[in-house]
Amino acid sequence: MELVERAHIQKLNLLCKLTQNEYIKVYKQYIKSNNRKLIKKEDMIICYNDFKKYIECFIKCKGERQHFYNRPRGFGRLVCGTSIQTKNKFIRGFLFNGETTIIDIENAQPKILEIICNQHNIECCNLTLYNNNRNKFLVNNKITKHAIISALFDKKTHRAKTQELKNLYNEIYNIRDKIYELYNNKIDFTKYIGHLKEDNEQGSLLSLILQDKEDLIMNEIIGYLIFNNYEISVLLFDGLMIYGNYYEDEELLKNINKKIQEKYDIKIKYEAHDTTITQEYLDDLDEVIVITDDNVEMEFSKQSEIFEKNHLKIINNGLYIRELENGKKELISETQLLHSYKHKVCLVNKMIMGEKKLVEVSFINEWVNCNPTIRQYDNMGVYPNKLKCPPNTYNLWEEFKMENVRKYTPMNDNLQFLLNHLKILCDDNMELYNYLICWTAQLIQHPETKTNMPIMTSRQGAGKGTYLKMLRAMLGDNKIYETTDPDKYIFGQFNGHLTNSLVIVINEAEYKLTSKNDSNIKAIITDPPITINEKNVSMYVIDWSGRLIGFSNSHNSFGTSTDDRRKWFIRCSNKLCNNYRYYNIINGLIEDVDTMKTLYEYFKNYKYGDMSMDKFNSIKKPISDAQRELCESSEKVPETFIKNLSMEKIEEDIECEEFTNKTIYQEFKLYLSNNSLEYKTNGIRLMAMLLELDLPREAITRGKAIHKRTGDYRTINFRLIREYYNQTEEDKATLEI
């Protein structure tokens, strides 16, 4: 949201007269008069430096600045660090008193908490008593409202001098635990996970929830004001300021309350500006602050420290990484970095015409080009096993989704239901089922170790995709990448999505496509290094430990052989097709966090008898009936080919024809392509196999001419071959493998 902040230039110049000592003096006076807790002097100095930068920038903009408010977490309050929103109330009061009106949510967070408790039947009688009689309660118990707010979120237990206050505190702690349990177990709260404090999850979760609900109320107020042509000046944390003096306008307040109370039992009020700083006080000050070299260096250092909490450089790749709040890591080029942050400025000393002067420059240019202490790593890679990450190498690995679920209720009945689905997928073949369980357990326990490729074939709706949903729910969406076009999205350009993907699913696979990429598929199954090519980023090589899975509705979508060590096949049962009630049940289980955490822990701790999953690749790979049939079918291909070719020659009215090794092999390749088959041979071997068939001696004979380059001519008598196999013209339609 974009807002324009305006202030009188005379007031801005007066505030420039505040020295650090005077600022701290005013700060202490404000704290005392408002019964606030005294903060450390170092924190006051940080506030002072932030205040000075704000005033100086405002003056340079001649008293008018644009500010952009956003939600850094993707939810909750709209904030803008460069606006008056984050500055002390006594600064805001002096600048905007008489020019703006503050509209505030009365007793915002305790009241919102009461609403949440009532929605979820959580006992809150003491909280209600406090909300209904707040002023009397605070006087009777000799505390401030800030003590109650602190109790909502602090980890520590607050001491109470009265039984009434003790009852409220104990109820707040109970509410906090109940809400944590409610959101953790019943409500999707994945958006909050990455923002919880490890040593105070209940308090930080409650804070985020209340801010989120507060934002909904603020959106209603903002919408009403904009619709009625009121100009908003500044967004505050539980209110806002509008231009103009409306403190006597009761009608405006009445209309806003009417709008809000249609949805929320919340009261909106006007709030007076703070008057700690007066013009008379500032007029008496003579000294004007001068920014020193130390202050300038501290400013850039402080900005860098904050920026480097989630930004860094990879030296050998010439790339930068931005660590997102959801745990993901985004690779960006230097061009992208400079463009994204060109709005950030800082003050530095520069030599101009032989004189050192204080100038405002681009922060990001300074950070990239003039920053010897930049946060940096030599290399980057993906290392699921963190112990194997080399020194000074940045680990791009992102944890599995279920690792973020710390508390859960085991759902063993649901676990058995999900495992039974895998058994059905394997058509109740226990050898295949046990191997699939081991394969999945090894994936979770040892993601750093590559292994073989399962291929599942069935009719549509048999449940293959449900297995994939289980993997997504346990590992996270970013760990699974699904494509119907491996030629483009796995082996082609711009395969950056592979960097953190652990399972690549080739879906709706067809033999024509898989045979074309057979060598690529074999390589990616066994060879760790792959080249990653992302848009707008230079290519880089990583050791990739991912796996492939093949899904198809066709049983001959992937070629194989009896000695195939890379692929294994499951011909899935089709008995669940069109069973909509079953899929409604199992999809509900997959959406349940407790159930999927139970399944995840089952695989995470699974052993095959006494064998741990680091020995998985030593387990004998099962050969299913589907794989045997494919192998047998492959072995009969030369004979079926010659029978098929003899039938085609009926239409051409050809009884005999001469072929070389090369020309017969060309016919053979065309036959394979038309029938979606894979068969490895060459012209010489093919002719030898045809000669070895139990055909009449005169069916394939040596020709007269001999060619060194193309091989011997062979005369094939198609009439004799048809007679030998008792083929008629009607047999052509039934010639299938």
pLDDT mean over 676-694: 81
One-letter amino acid at 84 equals I
Burial 376-413 (b: 16+ CB within 10 A, else e): ebebbbbbbeeeebeeebbbbbbebbbeebeebeebee
| The 3-state secondary structure of 466-518, one letter per residue | HHHHHHHHHHCHHHEEEECCHHHHCCCCCCHHHCCCCEEEECCCCHHHHHHCH
**């008057």: which residue's tokens?**
275
Strand boundaries in 93-167, DSSP class E: 100-105
Q: What percent of the chain has pLDDT over 70?
A: 91
Mean pLDDT of the chain: 85
**For residue 634, what pLDDT band results from cuts at 50, 70 and 90?**
low
Which pLDDT score, from 0 to 100, does residue 654 have?
A: 84
pLDDT mean over 66-82: 86
pLDDT tens track for 214-236: 999 999 999 999 999 999 999 99
The neighbour count for residue 54, using CB atoms within 10 Å, is 21
**Which residue, among 281, 277, 291, 272, has the nearest Cα to 27 in the 3D structure?**
277
One-letter amino acid at 737 equals I
Which pLDDT score, from 0 to 100, does residue 731 have?
A: 59
pLDDT mean over 582-590: 95
pLDDT mean over 185-197: 71
Which pLDDT score, from 0 to 100, does residue 292 have?
A: 44
Angle at 421 between CA 419 and CA 423, to 5 degrees: 75
Task: Of 66-70, 244-248, 430-434, 726-730, give the lowest mean pLDDT range.
Answer: 726-730
Q: What percent of the chain has pLDDT over 90?
A: 39
Bigger pLDDT: 590 vs 639? 590
Bigger pLDDT: 616 vs 37? 616
Q: Which helix (H) or strand (E) holds 243?
A: strand 239-243
pLDDT mean over 546-571: 81
Instruction: In whole angstroms, give the CA distance from residue 586 to residue 237.
Output: 43
111-115, 203-207, 538-542: which is most confident: 111-115
Which pLDDT score, from 0 to 100, does residue 272 have?
A: 92
Bigger pLDDT: 192 vs 512? 192
Q: Is pLDDT at 293 greater than 50 in this prediction?
A: no
DSSP state of 284: T
194-203, 306-315, 358-367, 547-556: which is most confident: 306-315
Q: Is pLDDT at 472 greater than 60 in this prediction?
A: yes
Instruction: In whole angstroms, give the CA distance from residue 457 to residue 427.
Output: 11
Which pLDDT score, from 0 to 100, does residue 704 have?
A: 57
**For residue 288, what pLDDT band results from cuts at 50, 70 and 90?**
very low
**For residue 289, what pLDDT band results from cuts at 50, 70 and 90?**
very low
Which pLDDT score, from 0 to 100, does residue 437 have?
A: 96
Which pLDDT score, from 0 to 100, does residue 732 have?
A: 56
**For residue 633, what pLDDT band results from cuts at 50, 70 and 90?**
low
Q: Is pLDDT at 295 greater than 70 in this prediction?
A: no
Residues near 628 by Cβ (< 8 Å), separated by ≥ 6? none
Secondary structure class of 132 (helix, strand, coil): helix
| DSSP symbols for 4-72 | EEE--HHHHHHHTT--HHHHHHHHHHHHHHTTPPPPPHHHHHHHHHHHHHHHHHHHHTTTEEEEE-B-T
Which pLDDT score, from 0 to 100, does residue 563 have?
A: 67
pLDDT mean over 640-656: 85
Quick one: the chain helix, strand, coil %, rounded to 5? 50, 15, 35
pLDDT mean over 29-44: 84
Which pLDDT score, from 0 to 100, does residue 709 have?
A: 52
Secondary structure class of 362 (helix, strand, coil): strand
Task: Of 241-250, 263-272, 319-328, 511-520, give the lowest mean pLDDT range.
Answer: 511-520
**Which residue, among 101, 98, 103, 94, has the nearest Cα to 54 in the 3D structure?**
94
pLDDT tens track for 301-320: 878 888 999 999 999 988 99
**For residue 737, what pLDDT band results from cuts at 50, 70 and 90?**
very low
One-letter amino acid at 459 equals R
pLDDT mean over 194-219: 87
Which pLDDT score, from 0 to 100, does residue 685 have?
A: 81
**For residue 296, what pLDDT band results from cuts at 50, 70 and 90?**
very low
Instruction: In whole angstroms, give the CA distance from residue 481 to residue 310.
Output: 26
pLDDT tens track for 475-488: 999 899 988 877 77
Which pLDDT score, from 0 to 100, does residue 291 have?
A: 43
Q: Is pLDDT at 294 greater than 50 in this prediction?
A: no
Q: Is pLDDT at 632 greater than 90 in this prediction?
A: no
**For residue 631, what pLDDT band results from cuts at 50, 70 and 90?**
low
291-300, 345-354, 447-456, 703-712: which is most confident: 447-456
Q: Is pLDDT at 290 greater than 50 in this prediction?
A: no
Domains of the chain by range and CATH? 2-106+232-283 (no CATH), 109-206 (no CATH), 293-377 (no CATH), 404-628 (3.40.50.300), 636-734 (1.10.10)
Instruction: In whole angstroms, give the CA distance from residue 141 to residue 293.
Output: 49
